[in-house]
Structure 1
């Protein structure tokens, strides 16, 4: 199992600040002479780092538990090391604001207040003495910060929902486009092919009776065949091609915008026909849309590889799975799209939690088709 140290989407904004904060904390605590001794101080630092790590990766009850543990360690440091370490409560105040439950956020805010008042009580201080009056604004900031972070995360979530709505609108447009193409094929190409069939039957009857008339009919058939080919090219040129690579990159940005980390593992994939890429891209889009809307996941893995002349695409998340989600049209849409290119789509619960979507497609050719031929 591969363990990750720090969320990729937070590296630019938080990594440098967190590293500097941890280094200073280790320096301050390990050089302090407390009743716990060096090894006791080191153990408390390890508990702090463990709580911080869990808080980075989870948004459920584990985030609340790790934040409470972190506030407890900071309280001990504030009593036995120095008051200024209470500044480190800002780290967990930021994390608890990212919790999905308002109740968890409320409990975290109460824990922040208790942290300050316990330190004040144990050190026989007063919030109105100079040493505590300096920390009073920091306490207020830590009490307000989870609420501000929650509002910010909620705004990001609404942005993601707007992206999903736009995708749904795009799907409706595509459905209308497919219906338009079907009408065009029926009204134009269907009529032309019917005329070719009738003239071919007539030519077969005339070929022995009137060769001159048969030749005229063959010329008409040739003209109609060219017209049919032209009509096919017009219809195909109007179809929207969705490259697989482009869809994966767009999906990565979309997942990041709603706070879900998308990890892409891609093997050596051959060049696929345009129609195949479009069907796979739409299926991946549908699966990831379901992850965003229903899974409550924090991580999602997209794996693409070719095994025994079969393209395998797996989409795995660490969410709540299928048990608590009502099935809709999304799964059926994936199956229908894969059926068009002789593929299959299977959606199951993962043994470790979450949902596993498996798309399978036999690879018959590696060359890309020419849509106009």
Structure 2
């Protein structure tokens, strides 16, 4: 009897295991770990991208003057693969040189990520010197201004010029140039030409606005003050209005525990070096949901020689980008190395209360004395 019961029990157990196994095979599917997730080709118009499969990067050079804000790449993929964003969908590549656009390929149980950069074919003059004087280069307008000492003979100058490797330049290097009137320099590169106008000015060079952070081309890291971290670059939530650039800095401020000094700091590896004798003001763009004071705390290295600068984010333009100006105390002589940004300097939301919210700042600049 015992043997009969054992055999019956064993048979039932084997039957259950067989049914469970069959059920699993019906519901599930085997893992596909051999699917191809490599992009085959990436084209923007007639320009073919260079694909680095090992690094997961794609770079595309398009003709000068191409509008990078709405390009629709055509992407060739392996069989059964799909890509996001999809092939043919327009994307903004205007700032991909510093913030590449991410594409991800899916196939089976695998995926692969690519960072895509699209740049215009471009040749640039990167430095223009005469003696110990360096020219101020406006790359957007292709203008170069160089300030030379009073009494300089402008008829026979020998500039030193640095420019994009592989390009040719005219006038050629090593010869004399007459800068009594503006001179045009022409770069030829990859079948295209780029022209700069060089102007010499006798006298001392005025101080220039110093960009400390702009979210696109100047993006030092902000350390979080009282917050887990500062998000940068972060997508600009309002590109219509006073600040049209695509990226900014941002963090979430807590209404209950957020102290007034919470914000972001540029110091240590990202410190600046600003002489208050030459720069006596700062400007910054701020966007938030409530009015109130914004504070910049300036320090010398080692958190010494502190000053607290305030400006008002006004009620009339709440929810919009506002450019605020901060005056450096007239008696300050110590260099400025650390800059701390506090978008809402009201401890725990008092006396100006606010809800927990995401705050934004951008375009931090040092302004020269007028």
Measured against the shorter chain, the TM-score band is under 0.3
Q: Which structure has more strand as a fraction of its residues?
A: 2
**Greater relative contact order (Cα < 8 A, sep 6+):** 2
What TM-score comes out, normalization by structure 2 length? Answer: 0.20
What TM-score comes out, normalization by structure 1 length? Answer: 0.19
Larger radius of gyration: 1
Q: Which structure has more helix as a fraction of its residues?
A: 1
